[in-house]
Chains A and B, each alone.
Chain A
């Protein structure tokens, strides 16, 4: 892979790695009396390892000029593999903590293995590790193909990918040591947040530079969604993570905002992390892989415009529905509820557009498990967005909030929509990227599909039951006008559902492991190389010099 880089790119990569290593060293020295010291060391070692890796092949011959007549897919392959590793890791932790809620002593008795520290390891592992790597890898693929342009350079894709994974590793190891800001889905501390900003700006610039080289006059709809994902996540990340560190030698920081303003900022972030990380980016994925896999054009171009701008506008208002009946002023709650309801229109426009695209290709859905992953993802997207709007209604929320119903809702979206669409994209991409005719075993793809679907359904039904039962028990009164159930009564009632949930999660995890095995077997067995037809940038690109 190093051989693909030019001599100057190798020098640049070594320079960047050196800067990272020095920054890590400084951070480690400043934080030698703090858990921060370990992270400094980790960053420093990462930089040094990168230098060693590049240096080992530094003298390899330079790539030939004909690379410009091909897309640059090395970082995409790495991204796909990283996504799968994170998926198996994140799902495993998730299922472990699910069993802990049924059997609380399933820890090692150590601080790092308790629920409170493992829970963000699970969420970060699946959302950022699995989802993030999936988005970065597919965005690199889609932006090149839909623009008919090669990535703008060969260093920044690697910087984005490796830098992002370094962020994820810092985040996850930090939680285990007790480093967290406590803001849900924004737990990493100040130094990790600053690092992510640098990575993210590079990502945006790479995207724009590649689009600037495009041979297509129009920017395809997938790219709008990927761009919204990159831009708005940057906005949310920067505002919500504004904080003052205790010192440069301390991992700890204090949020700039407090109380009600902090709550609103956090859920403006939290809900739109769902919107722009877990929805927008994956819609970008869907708008490419669904029509390509089905061999049908998108049903309606206009519908895709309406849903894109609708989602981008309405979602940003909806965060306050996480704070119904709290100390947040009621006018904000009402705005949040209203926009959450309106959000159903662009959401269903997207889901409908996806499903109607399949008209004329339903026989393929029946025969092709990969396309079925994508189809089921679109169905779950429609169901979850309906449920989300429903739960944002104040009176419904009074029952559902603080209960497992929320957890069920999130997993209907995360397992049914995000993970399924990603698996669909990955199963499409792996043969294309590794130039194979098909996956190693289509039957294992089929098996994975049914494990994933069964796991999701068991999980979601368990959490619906548990959540609604608990919500109702909390508000049940005796004839004498006193509360009928103690909190402990509800815990006893939920126990069987917690076992069912952990079982459903296990099914989903088994599916993930099958996927990892199938990919491994596909890429390791030597096979004659099969190019995806027409998978080249336009010929005139070859004449262009490097930037």
Chain B
């Protein structure tokens, strides 16, 4: 990353090549939306809150019992670690990739577009694996849980599309000026 900073000519490329860091950052931030909003504020689900009806034979851990809540909390802790690593690694990669004009990056459409893509990706991957394949928890357990899970996936797809369009608009700009 030090070598890159020596190159002055790269300045125009500053929005190119931030796809990976922006997406990783977005995955982390998306995880926080899920973790803080759904787990904590709304208390819709915990990591293993549907483990009584899962598809892979995870023992039942009801969040209403003390050991069950502890297990759920452990898994929430692992999830917490994952989201934080994604945020910090995303920022680190971003710093390594973008070697100049960092001050302007904060307001660039490309970055926030990729962050939205990452958020959407988080929803889709987390949704498919945890809600549909493993079935260890649902967005909102109950009679209509399939609809909530599908809405979660749909939100993910919308975020990816919107983010993708946003970052495309962002890269076009410097290409035309430089």
Co-assembled chains A and B: no
Chain B residues at the A interface, C-beta cutoff of 8 Å: none
**Which A positions have Cβ atoms within 8 angstroms of B?**
none
